[in-house]
Structure 1
Amino acid sequence: MTDTVVSEPAFSQTARLEIGADEYRLRRERVFRLLQERQLDAVCVFGPTRVAYLSGFFFSPTERPIALILTADGRVAALLPQLELSHFQQQGPALDDSAIYPEYPGGGSGRHPLLFLRELLSRLGVLGRRIAADVDGYEHRWGYRGPALGAVLEQPVQADVALIDNLRMVKSATEIALMTEACRWGDHAHRLMQNSLGVGAEELLVSHGASLQATRDLLAALGERYVPKAREGLPANAMFIRGSNTAHPHGLHEAGAVKAGDVLVTGAYGVVGGYESELERTMIVGEPDARFQRYFAAMLAAQQVGLDALRPGRTCAEVEADVRRFIRVELGMDDLVRHHTGHAFGLEGHEHPFLDLDDHTVIEPGMVFSVEPGLYVPQFAGFRHSDTVVITSSGSERLSLYPRELDELVVPVG
C-alpha cells in the first residue's frame, strides 16, 4: 500500500456530499473535445447512468426514453417525457433545446418518442451528419419497444458505449472522496451486522436490521449534507449468506437461522452522492476447524497478491495473471476459481475495466477497483474478501478499512 490520491479533503464539514455543477460542466466539455477529435457532430446518450454522469440528472429509468444530446459545437439538449421535465429542471443544466413528449408509447400523440428526438436533432442541425450514441436507441426495459436510433434517423449511427464510459474510468478527487465516505458507512453497516450475528440469528432480519440502523446513523451524522440520488434502496447496507450456499459466488438469500459451524460470506456498501463502495468478508460461526482455516488463509493470501499487484502502468490482465498464477502454482487450487479478481466501480456496482485475463486496459492513478479473488469449495463453502481500492501514483490504497484477519471475523457461539 502506498500514498493516497486524495491529499486533502474534497468537501468541507458543511458541504453537500455530491458532485457540483462545475465538475459536470467539465465532463461535458471533455465530450465536446472528444467529438471534435473524432470528427463527430453530436452524441446521443441514452444510458441512465451516463446521463447522470454528464448532467447531474438522476432519475428512475422506466419505459419512457430519455436522452442527453451533446454537439461538437458545445450545445446541450435533451429528449424528456413530460413527467420528468420539472425533475430535470431541478437537477440538470440549462438546455439549448429540448424535445418533450407526452407519454410512452405516444400519449395520444400518435408518435413514438424517438420521432421527437429526430425532430430535435434536425433543429440542432446535425440530422444527416455524423451522429454517435452510447447505444443505438433506448434500452429495452419495463415493456419498452422501440426502433433503433439509426432506423429512426434513416442514417448510420456510431454506437459505442466506450465513448462516455472511458471518461468514467479515472475518478476525480471529488469522486474518490464520495467513495471514501461511502466506504466508511459500508464498514459501519458491516460492523452493526457482525455485532448482531449469533446462533439463531435470522439471515434476512439481521441483514435488513443492520442496514436500517446504519442508515439511521448515517442520516443523523450527515444531516442535510447527505443528498439521496435514488428512489429505492438505503444509503448504507449489509447482508450475508451462509453455509454451503456460500459456494455459489452470487448465492441468493435463504430462509432460516444461523447455526454453529456456518461459514458466512457477507456484503456491505454505502452510497454517497450516487457513488458506491464495496466490502465483503468471509466469516465463521464458532471456532474454525483446520479445513476452514486452510481455505481462509489461501483466500486471504490470494487477495493480498491482488492488492500488491495493483499499480499504475500495469494492465488489468497482468494483475489477474499474478493472482491466477499464485492460486494455481502456490495454492494448487485453480479448480476452485469461479470468477476474475475484480472490477472497477463508481456510480454502478460493476464498471469497466475488469481485472480479467482478457482485459488489457492500462491501470492509471484514480481508478477504483474491487479486489476479490474467491475460492469456492462445492458442498462446503465459498471464501471471498472484497475491498474497495483506489490506484495511487505508485501503487494502491484500500478505502474499505474493515478487518481482514480471521481472528476478527469469528462469530462467538454462546
Structure 2
Amino acid sequence: MTRTLPTGSPAPLDLTAQDYRDRRGRLALTLQERGYGAMVVFGPARVSYLTGFYFAATERPVAAIVSDTGDGTLFVPALEADHVRQQCPDLGDPVTYPEYPGGGSGEHPLLTLGRELRRRFPRARALAADLGGYESRWGYRGPRLEEAAGLPVHEHLEFVDDARAIKSPAEIALIREACHWGDYAHGLMQQALEIGSDEMLVSHETSLRATRDMLAALGSRYVPKAREGLPANTMFIRGRNTANPHGLHQTGGVQAGDILVTGAYGVVGGYESELERTMFVGEPTPEQARWFGAMLAAQDAGMAALKPGRPCHEVEQEVRAVLEAHGAMPYVRHHTGHAFGMEGHEHPFLDLDDPTEIRPGMIFSIEPGIYVPGLGGFRHSDTLVVTETGAERLSLYPRDLQSLTVPV
C-alpha cells in the first residue's frame, strides 16, 4: 500500500495568545458565578490549556493562578522563569521560588505559593483549585494547598475540564492535521511489515521516518510542545498477546498467521490524534475474520450513535447491543471510547456510567474491542469530532479486511 505524503494545511499550527486569554476569560465567568476570587491549577495539561506554558513536569511545583477578572499568573521554580517569558510574554513575570524542597530558603514552595495567594487575594474566603495540592511525582512531598494558604480550598477540576471537552475550531484544525500525520505514519509502518519484523524496531524506525517527513513538509509552521517524544508515532503488538488490551511489546519477529493490533498518532500544536487497526499477516482464518467483522460492526454502530444531545451512555448501550448480537460480550474488556485532545484520555467517556451530554466540538475515540484468549484481540480506533448533526471521522485510514492484510 503506497501512502501519499500529506502536504499540510496552510492554517497556523499553534494557538494564539488571544486563544489563551479567551480561555481564562471563560474561567473567570465561572469563578464569578460560583463566588470565587481565584483558582489555582496544578495539572500540567490544565496549566498549558489556560496559559500556553508547556513544560517538563517534575518534583518542582508549577501552578497557574487565574483571578475572577481573567488575569493569569504562573508560579514556577526559578529555573523556568525565562522559559515562561519566552512562551507567554503577555503574562508578565512569574512568581518564582528557588528550588524544591527549598533550595536553602527554608521555605517549601507550597508555602511560598500560599503566602503569594494571601497577598494577592486578602479578602478571599475560599479558593477554587483543580487539585488539593501539587501531584506527587518524582519524589515530591508537600503540604496541601489549604494548609499552605490558610484558606479553605474547594476542588473543582470540572471548571477547567468541562471547558476542555468542547474543542474550538482552532483546536479541531490542529487535531485534523495530527490525524493526517497519524494516517501517514501508519501507512509507513504497514509498508515495512514483513515476516520476521521486530515490533520495537519497526515501530521506532517508522516513527522516526514519519517524523522526518512531517517536519520536512511543515517546516517552521510546526511548533514543538515537548522536549520528549516524536511528532509522529507508530507501534504494534502481535499474536496472542493482542488479547491483552494494553499488551506490552514482545521479542521475536512477526510470523505468518499473526494478528496485529496497531496504533499511530500525530501531535500538532500540543494536540493528539488517535488511530488503531487490527491487521493480519497472511489471509485470516474464518474465526479471525468472524471476530474482525463483529468488531467492525460494533465500531460502525458507535460512529453512527455519536450525535449531539445524547448522553454518552447511550452510545455504549448501542455498541453493546451489536456486540451481544455477535456473541462477543464475554470477550469485551473496556468501554467504547473516550474524549481526548491535549491528553490521550480526557473526560467524558463512552461508558454505561457516564451521563455527560454529547455536544458539538467534542472529540472522541470510537474503539470497541473484542479480546479472545488464545486467539487475539480485535480493535479499530478512530478520531471523530461531534458536529451539529452527527460526527465526522478525522482519521481516514482504511478499515476493511482486505486493506489490512499483510501479504506473505
Q: TM-score range by the shorter chain?
A: over 0.9
TM-score (structure 1 length as normaliser): 0.95
1:280-319 CA deviation, whole Å, 9 max, x = no partner?
A: 0000000111011100000000000000000000010010
How far apart are residue 125 of structure 1 and its match?
Answer: 2.2
Picking from 243, 256, 259, the partner of 1:260 is 256
Picking from 324, 328, 331, the partner of 1:333 is 328
Query: Secondary structure at the residue paired with 1:69?
Result: strand
Matched, 1:378 2:362: no
User: Quick one: higher RCO (CA 8 Å, sep 6+), 1 or 2?
Assistant: 1
**Paired position in structure 2 for 1:351:** 346
Task: Report if aligned partners of 1:311, 1:392 keep a CA contact under 8 Å in 2.
Answer: yes
Picking from 283, 306, 312, the partner of 1:310 is 306
How far apart are residue 121 of structure 1 and its match?
Answer: 0.9
Instruction: Identify which range, 71-80 or 120-129, moves more after superposition.
Output: 120-129
Picking from 379, 385, 389, the partner of 1:394 is 389
Task: Report if aligned partners of 1:55, 1:93 keep a CA contact under 8 Å in 2.
Answer: no
Task: Report if aligned partners of 1:16, 1:227 keep a CA contact under 8 Å in 2.
Answer: no
Q: Distance in 1 between matches of 2:126 and 2:249?
A: 48
Task: Name stretches of at least 5 consecutive residues in structure 1 with no aligned partner.
Answer: 1-10
Task: Report if aligned partners of 2:113, 2:149 keep a CA contact under 8 Å in 1.
Answer: no
Q: Distance in 2 between matches of 1:25 and 1:117?
A: 23
**1:290–1:299 Cα change, 3 Å:** same
Supply the AA of the counterpart residue of 1:372: E
1:140-179 CA deviation, whole Å, 9 max, x = no partner?
A: 1000001110111223201121111001001000100000
Q: Distance in 2 between matches of 1:191 and 1:73?
A: 48
Question: Taking every aligned residue pair, what percent have the same amino acid on both sides?
Answer: 61
Q: Distance in 2 between matches of 1:76 and 1:24?
A: 10
How far apart are residue 98 of structure 1 and its match?
Answer: 4.0
- Kindly report which structure 2 residues correspond to 1:6-85, keeping only aligned pairs within 5 A, or say none: 13=10, 16-85=12-81
Picking from 75, 99, 106, the partner of 2:102 is 106
**Paired position in structure 2 for 1:410:** 405
**1:199–1:109 Cα change, 3 Å:** same
Q: Distance in 1 between matches of 2:270 and 2:178?
A: 9
Task: Name stretches of at least 5 consecutive residues in structure 2 with no aligned partner.
Answer: 1-7
**Paired position in structure 1 for 2:283:** 287
How far apart are residue 94 of structure 1 and its match?
Answer: 3.1
**Paired position in structure 2 for 1:188:** 184
**Paired position in structure 1 for 2:164:** 168
Q: Distance in 1 between matches of 2:57 and 2:171?
A: 23
Instruction: Identify which range, 150-159 or 380-389, moves more after superposition.
Output: 150-159
**Paired position in structure 1 for 2:3:** none
Task: Report if aligned partners of 2:51, 2:88 keep a CA contact under 8 Å in 1.
Answer: yes
Supply the AA of the counterpart residue of 2:279: M
Instruction: Please provide the CA RMSD for this pair.
Output: 1.2
Q: How many residues align?
A: 401
Task: Report if aligned partners of 1:75, 1:96 keep a CA contact under 8 Å in 2.
Answer: no
Q: Distance in 2 between matches of 1:108 and 1:357?
A: 52
Supply the AA of the counterpart residue of 1:352: H
How far apart are residue 74 of structure 1 and its match?
Answer: 3.2
Query: Secondary structure at the residue paired with 2:263?
Result: strand
Q: Distance in 2 between matches of 1:193 and 1:98?
A: 44
**1:250–1:12 Cα change, 3 Å:** closer
Task: Report if aligned partners of 2:223, 2:268 keep a CA contact under 8 Å in 1.
Answer: yes
Question: Runs ≥4 in structure 1, deviation > 4 angstroms?
Answer: none
Query: Secondary structure at the residue paired with 2:227?
Result: coil
Instruction: Identify which range, 330-339 or 73-82, moves more after superposition.
Output: 73-82
Task: Report if aligned partners of 1:127, 1:153 keep a CA contact under 8 Å in 2.
Answer: no
Task: Report if aligned partners of 1:97, 1:120 keep a CA contact under 8 Å in 2.
Answer: no
Q: Distance in 1 between matches of 2:181 and 2:90?
A: 34
**Paired position in structure 2 for 1:142:** 138
**1:111–1:285 Cα change, 3 Å:** same
